[in-house]
Structure 1
Amino acid sequence: MVELPNLTPNQIESAITSVSDVQPLGRGGQKIVFSGEIDGERYALKFSRAPIETVESDEMESEYDPDVVVRAKREVETMRQCKSPHMVKLGPIGLEFIEISGERLIFFTEELITGSDLRQIKRGRCLSAIEVVRLGVQITHAIAAIWELKKVHRDIKPGNIMLRNDGNFVLLDAGLAFDKAGDSLSGGFLVGTRIYFSPEQFDYGNRRTIMDFRSDMFALGVTMYEMATGDHPFYTRGDGSENFFTKVMKFHPTPPHELVDNFPEDLSAIIMRMLGKSPHLRYRKCEQLIERLNAVGATS
């Protein structure tokens, strides 16, 4: 695991003169995040350590994960190109290299979302049926827009979805986006949050041909199930990898309407179809899923 840099607001403001009023937001994965003001607007500022190459015994080695830069470039590119209002937007500063107090870093800015992520919300409550419908419709719009770029987000989960204060949902963090037309970034390893993997994501050898927007659709279905019922459809705390893998591949969870009082049965059926074990068992098009969800929303 790459150690995150230790930065202070004063160091950032001194190094990036266009940014003021810097405040810490948090740490996670390979990034440390701050908020800051640029030209009168507040944005999120994301920093990671840049790879440092050293020469030893005539071989080039990297002190840090070289994929950090590639993933950051892909995240920035996806935010810049994605047209959905439900995908977080790139801020005024794209990907740049910078040195702060001897630390060689990469950073970029993005839209600052005011609200709470679904992981935080789940600690206090489940979503109502109408909120689950809105979640499904809006994040499916984002999935469709990402797929127009021939990319799969590959990390849809409660921690990467924000509920804005205005009641709308937005998808974050395209750093693991899988480009069907590009090179793999995972070097033979499974990447992402495994308890939100679709069954086909475990098939590393064939994933380039079988993974598409329906893998993201599966992860969204898992998230909708979890936010509706309070429980993950496949994972129970303490499950080992083998037990979890077996559940994802073979287990059919109890439909949400059997767990939640007055939960619409037709919405429950949509979620269960999104959890189909094979891509062809899910919806053939994002537009088809959106149409079905909107029909449920109109009667809820």
Structure 2
Amino acid sequence: MINKPDMSLLQKELPDIQIVEEIDSGAFKVVYKALIKGRQEALKLVQIPVDPNDEGIKEENQKRIFREIAILGKCESPYIVKLGSIRPKELSVDGQDYVVYSEELVEGESLRQLLKSGYKPTFNELRNMANVFLSVVKELASRKVIHRDIKPDNIIRTDTKDRPFVLLDFGIAFQIGGSNLTRDTHHVPGTLYYIAPEMLDTGFRQSLDYRADLYTVGLTLYEYASGVNPYAKRDEAQFSTLYRIKTQNPEPLLNLCPDLPVEFCILVDNLMKKLPALRPANIDMLIKKLEGIR
């Protein structure tokens, strides 16, 4: 976080919460493990960026934070992180404004941590993961929500049978038909290597749908299976990366993982098609097809 508060000052503002330790941090967000009424939860502190020359920036960012929380409150899938006991509220620490709230503390390792360790998932785990996140995309689509940031960093593997994977971080989720919170229409939200190709089109918000999430599910499966993100190239100019995302097809997954079933590799490759219209879009059919792959 750019303006991370001193933990002792933050603790004074939250006397009923015991902050244990910091567990994650981003540009405008920090996450702590905290004890709330004797229960461990993830305490999230989100900085509200401001611009002295533009009063509307603060309101825009406040609305984005509360939209994320509202979306989480509506979701019922066990594979989506749940809100915790602390409802969102604004607070100021040392002159900086934040929104604080809590989510459940999901125990486990992120797929990013597993990838860094050199972990190699089995086909059964990959198929299970595909089923999980196809069902997640189906629920989000039914609520006209696009996550837009499905990636290994935002997925926790829990090692529990009934809830093996959990999706986190709805910070840039998009509500179809909702009010546009981004005044800069040229800004493309998301993480560079995980941006769906159609999000690079002019006016992409007008036609964006759940197939963008199907793309990132496919890309995440591809990377988790092979250990390779096809668009991550060290020291490459951002323009060149974006051009490859838009135009260059990844190497077929089967070439990198010849031990996986051919049908599964083809399914993953198809989810990563450049044009949304070429991706398989019937999620129920995809799940049924997965069940038949051995």
Query: Same fold by TM-score, threshold 0.5 exceeded?
Result: yes
Give the Cα separation in 1 of the matches to 2:67 and 2:6.
Answer: 24
Partner of 2:167: 171
Q: How does 1:30-109 map to 2 (within 5 A)?
A: 30-51=28-49, 61-62=54-55, 66-109=59-102
Give the Cα separation in 2 of the matches to 1:193 and 1:116.
Answer: 20
* 1:284 aligned onto 2:281: yes
User: Are residues 18 and 172 of structure 1, via their aligned partners in 2, closer, same or farther at CA, if it must alter by over 3 Å?
Assistant: same
Partner of residue 270 from structure 2, selected from 273, 278, 281: 273
* Stretch moving more, 231-240 or 25-34: 231-240
Partner of 1:224: 221
What 5-or-longer segments of structure 2 have no aligned partner? none
Shift of 1:15: 1.9
Shift of 1:295: 2.4
Partner of residue 291 from structure 2, selected from 294, 297, 300: 294
Partner of 1:150: 144
Shift of 1:81: 0.5
Give the Cα separation in 2 of the matches to 1:199 and 1:21.
Answer: 40
The DSSP-based 3-state class of the residue aligned with 2:54 is strand
- Aligned amino acid, residue 217 of structure 1: L
User: Are residues 7 and 273 of structure 1, via their aligned partners in 2, closer, same or farther at CA, if it must alter by over 3 Å?
Assistant: same
Give the Cα separation in 2 of the matches to 1:181 and 1:63.
Answer: 21
- Aligned amino acid, residue 231 of structure 1: V
What 5-or-longer segments of structure 1 have no aligned partner? 55-59
Shift of 1:76: 0.5
Partner of 2:178: 182
Give the Cα separation in 1 of the matches to 2:206 and 2:26.
Answer: 31
C-alpha contact 1:190 1:204 (8 A) present in aligned 2:
no
C-alpha contact 1:34 1:46 (8 A) present in aligned 2:
yes
- Aligned amino acid, residue 47 of structure 1: L
Q: How does 1:127-142 map to 2 (within 5 A)?
A: 127-142=121-136
Shift of 1:236: 2.3
State the Cα deviation string for residues 122-160 of structure 1 (Å, max 9, x = none). Answer: 011232222211221112222221222211101111111
User: Are residues 51 and 233 of structure 1, via their aligned partners in 2, closer, same or farther at CA, if it must alter by over 3 Å?
Assistant: closer
- Give the fraction of aligned pairs with identical amino acids, expressed as a percent: 27
* Stretch moving more, 266-275 or 137-146: 137-146
C-alpha contact 1:5 1:48 (8 A) present in aligned 2:
no
Q: TM-score, normalised by structure 2?
A: 0.90
The DSSP-based 3-state class of the residue aligned with 2:40 is strand
Q: How many residues align?
A: 289
Give the Cα separation in 1 of the matches to 2:38 and 2:202.
Answer: 46
Give the Cα separation in 2 of the matches to 1:144 and 1:275.
Answer: 17
Give the Cα separation in 1 of the matches to 2:250 and 2:260.
Answer: 16
C-alpha contact 1:49 1:106 (8 A) present in aligned 2:
yes
C-alpha contact 1:51 1:62 (8 A) present in aligned 2:
no
Give the Cα separation in 2 of the matches to 1:273 and 1:127.
Answer: 20
Give the Cα separation in 2 of the matches to 1:208 and 1:88.
Answer: 25
Give the Cα separation in 2 of the matches to 1:106 and 1:162.
Answer: 24
* 1:126 aligned onto 2:120: yes
Give the Cα separation in 2 of the matches to 1:20 and 1:105.
Answer: 18
The DSSP-based 3-state class of the residue aligned with 2:292 is helix
C-alpha contact 1:67 1:185 (8 A) present in aligned 2:
yes
Partner of 1:208: 205
* Stretch moving more, 84-93 or 132-141: 132-141
C-alpha contact 2:84 2:104 (8 A) present in aligned 1:
yes
- Aligned amino acid, residue 238 of structure 1: D
User: Are residues 101 and 144 of structure 1, via their aligned partners in 2, closer, same or farther at CA, if it must alter by over 3 Å?
Assistant: same
* Stretch moving more, 137-146 or 97-106: 97-106
The DSSP-based 3-state class of the residue aligned with 1:61 is coil
Q: How big is the alpha-carbon RMSD for the aligned residues of Structure 1 and Structure 2?
A: 2.2
Partner of 1:255: 252
Partner of residue 22 from structure 2, selected from 6, 20, 24: 24
